[in-house]
Chains A and B, each alone.
Chain A
Amino acid sequence: MSKTAGFRRPMVGTQPDYLSPGYGSSRLRSPTRPLVLLLHRESETTGPLFGADLLGPSDSDLTGQHAGEPLGARILVSGRVLDENARPVVGALVELWQANSAGRYAHAGDSHEAPLDPNFTGCGRVLTDERGGYRFTTIRPGEYPWRNHYNAWRPAHIHFSVFGPAFATRLVTQMYFPGDPLLPWDPIFNCVPDEKARARLVAQFDWECTLPGRAMGYRFDIVLRGREATPLQPAAGGRS
């Protein structure tokens, strides 16, 4: 029997419900039955190990993946991946994807009438260092319309996918930009009632990481679940 500590359940209010009526696509895709509590065993407390062998030299520089520079405002996005106990998550795989500066994804399904950029694919990945730190060079993505409701526009955002130490710490989220006037209108950003939780999805302008004359810096820290203080002991019969 595994003695590995499980992970704390997220604090109430920090995570969205599956059914979010303002977000049309959630209506037919949200389970109607309550989730069944799963006690963490080895299946949940382990995960694949991602090593430097997977990554290429331009994987963290989305402006350097083609012959020319992409159009748009060059930015640096950096931050740390931490757990809820404020410990750095070392060796975490951070994947990122986004629209180009005109608000168009390099995806066959994106029908927005905005130009593709031959010098921008919009995806990257990196492993966090000993401090849990990561850094990407990219361009500021554009806003774009979507069909969720009349005159709907997504605020500028970057998708982040993070593998922490275990399957139970898997997280996919979106990073937004400070001062975006679309944020109050967006049902995805507003999927949780907790204003502070939403604020944590908004990157901060980072003057110290800004490259003079070259690229504005944004800071976006990501917090994964923390381990329980003591290993979970399954109750007699293995049920609890």
Chain B
Amino acid sequence: MSLLMTTSQTVGPFSRIGLQWLYRDRLFADGTRGVARRVSGRILDGEGRGVDGATIELWQANPQGRYPSPLSSPCANSKLEGFGRIEASADGAFGFHTLKPGALGADQAPHMLVAVFARGLLRHLVTRMYFPDEGANDGDHVLGSLETGRRETLIARCGDDSPDHLLWDIVLQGPAETVFFDC
């Protein structure tokens, strides 16, 4: 038997009331060993204005490059390491704390999956964030499939203040538009 997927609809402007209970801007428990990074940026619309009230969800491997195994039955104990959910501010600013994912295989550089939900988005957008100064980026099968200029929209920049601080904007529309995926 085959069914058809339910049509996506926008989260609308008031998603905070339903989603805030699970806001997590620290993707790993304090004390977890790994390369700590703080990421901040803005979500911008086609006129360069901050997107208000957006929610971003993040998903990545742990510092050993591992993901949890999918469920086959209801579970008692959650495993949320590597998952983040953050709300952008009224001017589109967001920030989170994470540990760099470990190596994932020959043709995959460390990355995080990013979903963007907002009023005006009938379907969420999916993109990826990669890490700067990472040799494996050159061999990544996704980055390698993108044209120069677009590829760079997925790679965070080092902040001026600290090497642990990364900057990464999400541009929904326009000349600097971030690469989004049919995921």
Contact = CB atoms under 8 A, between A and B. Distances in A.
- Main DSSP-derived SS at the B contact region: loop
A201 B117 CA distance: 19
A27 to B, nearest CB: 8
Interface residues of A, number: 93
Which range contains the number of B residues in contact with the other chain? Answer: 35 or more
A41 B144 CA distance: 16
B141 A237 contact: yes
Nearest to A43: B113
A18 B9 CA distance: 11
B23 to A, nearest CB: 12
Contact of A224 (B5, B21, B61, B68): B5
Contacts, number: 268
A54 B111 CA distance: 27
B173 A35 contact: no
A76 interface: no
A215 to B, nearest CB: 21
A91 B15 contact: no
Contacts of A42: 61, 67, 104
A86 B3 contact: yes
Interface of A: 1, 4, 9-11, 14-18, 20, 23, 25-33, 35-54, 82-86, 90-91, 95-97, 105-107, 109-110, 121-123, 125, 127-130, 159, 161, 165-168, 170-174, 188-189, 191-192, 196-198, 200-201, 222-226, 234, 237-239
